Amino acid sequence: MIIDRSRDDEFMREALALAAEGARLGEVPVGAVVVQDGQIVGRGFNCPISSHDPSAHAEMVAIRDAALSRENYRLPGSTLYVTLEPCSMCAGLIVHSRVQRVVYGATEPKAGVAVSRGEFFSQGFLNHRVLIEGGVAAQDCSEMLSEFFKARRLKSRGGEAMEARSEE
Ligand SMILES: [Zn+2]
């Protein structure tokens, strides 16, 4: 198995651009792309709020998009680039879809299951091995999230100030 890492940064930039699209919709900015044979075959960003779909994480959306475009429920030899360490739901999907490699940006200390909350992908019962690599463009990926939450906090504080004023 030959792993080509030469375009990891480039594909992570694509995932970051998708994350920014999500941020514009008020969604927590996480983006993902699926690459097969050197080409992006699936794209997605986190959008559970706007799509009324709790499963609409970036990985889920990108893998569905890839499987549809390839007309194949399995994605052998593919790499999933995602700006944030996957959660348990997405980790399950990654195994089911036979993604070969996952490259993530920032770690997710609260819900990540690649390294943060356990090492899901090395569980012995899994019938498919996924290669996990983290830390690609990690700083940009985590800054996008922290900027988003900072702006949201400021906005809600502003909202409270407005309410306080109207009560006067
Ligand atoms: Zn997830």
pLDDT in tens, 41-50: 999 999 999 9
Give me ligand 1 centre to Cα 88, in Å. Answer: 6
CATH number at residue 98: 3.40.140.10
| pLDDT above 90: percentage of residues in the chain | 89
pLDDT value at 92 more than 50: yes
Say how many CA atoms lie within 13 Å of 149 toward its Cβ. 6
- CA torsion, points 94, 98, 69, 18, in degrees to nearest 10? 30
pLDDT value at 160 more than 90: no
pLDDT, average across residues 147-154: 93
Give me ligand 1 centre to Cα 69, in Å. Answer: 21
Task: Look at residue 101 and tell me if it is in a domain.
Answer: yes
Average pLDDT, the chain: 94
Q: What angle do CA 116, 137, 6 make, to 5 degrees?
A: 110
Answer yes or no: 59 catalytic: yes
pLDDT value at 164 more than 80: no
Task: Look at residue 1 and tell me if it is in a domain.
Answer: no
CB contact set of 130 (below 8 Å; sequence gap of 6+) = 94, 95, 99, 100, 101, 102, 121
Task: Look at residue 24 and tell me if it is in a domain.
Answer: yes
Question: Domain limits at 51?
Answer: 7-164
Q: Which pTM was predicted?
A: 0.92
Weakest-pLDDT range from 7-11, 15-19, 153-157: 153-157
> Annotated catalytic residue: which of 21, 27, 59, 160?
59
Give me ligand 1 centre to Cα 57, in Å. Answer: 5
- The structural domain count of the chain equals 1
